[in-house]
Amino acid sequence: MRSLPQQPRAEPFPPPPAQRQFPPGPGALVLGLLRNRNLDWSGAVRALVLADERFCFSAVTIRVIGQGRKELTPELVAALATVLGIPANDLAALTGVDPTNGTRDPWCPAVTEVAKLIWDLRRLTRGQMREVESQAIAMSKRA
């Protein structure tokens, strides 16, 4: 994946559609950070489950967080910090939610590697993403 050339952006990143624009707040900020990593609501749920299996909820819940109707908990901020590859203290400063009140260690090494992969994938084309996915599936079948 890292050997694939990163393509320059052909056009500016479009703003999110109206149904994915949220009032300013911690939830909207977190969803914007997830969007910058090409994680939609369901992709965010899958990544969070990797970070901590306690976060097995629906994509609609992610939307509700963005709308500010569901509170960010310390545990969720810690898991999001891991998924986003952001130090938990930095995300705490941005959201106003201190993850040290949570009960989990926010730095699971395997999930941190996944966060790095997500960041590296952000500038690949759709075709390159399909190529990476095909190679990953082939590698998992050999394991």
Residue 87 clears pLDDT 80, i.e. is over it = yes
Residue 132 confidence (pLDDT): 80
Across the range 77-98, mean pLDDT stands at 87
Range among 3-7, 40-44, 137-141 with highest mean pLDDT value: 40-44
Across the range 67-96, mean pLDDT stands at 88
Distance from C-alpha of 129 to C-alpha of 133, rounded to nearest angstrom = 6
Residue 106 confidence (pLDDT): 46
Residue 43 confidence (pLDDT): 86
Residue 64 confidence (pLDDT): 92
